[in-house]
Every structure is written in structure tokens, then in C-alpha cells.
Structure 1
Amino acid sequence: MANRIIDEENVKIGRLLQNARESHGVLQSELCEATGLTKNHISAVERGVSKASIRMLLGYCEKIGITPNDILGYSELNLIPELQEMINHMDIEQQKCIMDMIELMSK
């Protein structure tokens, strides 16, 4: 039973890593340099076959320019899930535009 729970967690974290990578237009091969891992290992983690290490998570964050909280879905903001999801898929310039709009609305 415990192995099944661990496997489901591996799949969930693997999907989160893959979604973060893809939403920022980064290829698995580009992460090889940032993590020091092989493309096969990165693929196995994203499919949930292998566990992600902290080193791997930090490599994703460094390459993509986000935090572990961003990948894992933790946020100090109290946003509705739909808005958080939209923001997660925006690049930095799009996020800055949203900030500008919010600043204008709050004046």
C-alpha cells in the first residue's frame, strides 16, 4: 500500500515538473546542464517512474527562473485557483503587465 502512495506522489510531482518546464518553453535536454542529470533520468522523473531529488527541483528552478513553491503550487497569495493557474503560465513580461493593471485599478 505504501508503495502505491509513493508512486502516485512521484507521478504528481513529475507532472508538476513537466508542466513547469513546458510552460516556460524549456526542453529536457536543456535541463541536463542545469541539473547534471541525463535526459533519460529527467524523463523518468517526469513520468513518475523515478523520484525527483532536491538537486533536480533546484535545477528546474534555476533554469526556468522560478521557485520550488511555484512548481509545487504553494503560494503565499490568497488567489482563486483559476487566476493562480493563469499567472503560473505567464512569462515575466506578462506578469509585469498584470501588475501594472492592478496598480492602475487600485488607484
Structure 2
Amino acid sequence: MNRGSLKDTTAETDILIGSRIRHFRQAHGLSQTDLASAIGVTFQQMQKYEKGQNRISTSALILICKTLGITPNDVIGQFFEGAEVSVAGQLAEENAALKSTLSEIRRIAA
């Protein structure tokens, strides 16, 4: 593998991790500002994490997961075959799906 494809893979991974964090944050009804404040970073930093523009340190990932009541495996488990999602992660996934369905019902009813 050449260095260019490794860089692309790393950048894509950062984007996917940020997307998972955004998904769980939204499922918990938190704003970027709320989550950023809870872990001691700025809103802008949280925004960059979620967009994959800045790499998330292990310590920041742990704080994010503790704040959201999920495990790091819920965020990064998709990169490992056979990784299980925690109960909290499953509930967050179901919550997000229900919110999406409710939003669609409200749109149709309007």
C-alpha cells in the first residue's frame, strides 16, 4: 500500500468516527456545545472532531463515551469484525431510529 492510500484510509476513518460520535450525540439530544462543554473543549473543536478534520485523542474519546453513556466499542467497533455494540449503544441506535420515524410522521402529517 502506498502512503497516499494510507492517508486516505486514515482520513476516511477519522470522518467515520466523527460521524458515529455525531450520531450518538444527536441520539442523546445534546448539542455540539453541550458535549464540548462536558469534555472541556470548544464548540469548534467538537465540530472538527465530528467532521473528521481533527483526530480524536484516546482521552477525548473516553470522555465523549462516558458523557454519552456508551463504550468506545460503540464508536470504533465497526472497524473490527465481530465487535459487539453495548446495550447503551443499541438503545442510542434505536432512539435515533425512533426520532427519525417520528420526524417523518410529523412531516407527513403537516
Q: Which residue, 12, 15, 21 being the options, matches 2:16?
A: 12
Letter in 2 for 1:37: V
- Aligned equivalent of 1:27: 31
**Identical amino acids, percent of aligned pairs:** 27
- Structure showing the higher helix proportion among its residues: 2
Normalised by the length of structure 1, the TM-score is 0.66
SS of 1:75's equivalent in the other structure is coil
Normalised by the length of structure 2, the TM-score is 0.64
- Aligned equivalent of 1:105: none
Report matched runs for 1:1-107 at 5 Å.
Answer: 1=4, 2-73=6-77, 74-75=83-84, 87-90=91-94
Deviation at 1:76, TM superposition (A): 6.7
In the comparison of the two structures, how many residue pairs are matched?
84
CA distance in 1, matches of 2:85, 2:17: 20
Taking only aligned residues, the RMSD between alpha carbons, in angstroms, comes to 2.3
**Is residue 34–residue 62 contact of structure 1 (8 Å, CA) maintained in 2?**
no
Deviation at 1:86, TM superposition (A): 6.0
CA distance in 1, matches of 2:36, 2:50: 13
Deviation at 1:70, TM superposition (A): 2.0
- Structure 2: state its 5+ residue gaps: 78-82, 96-110
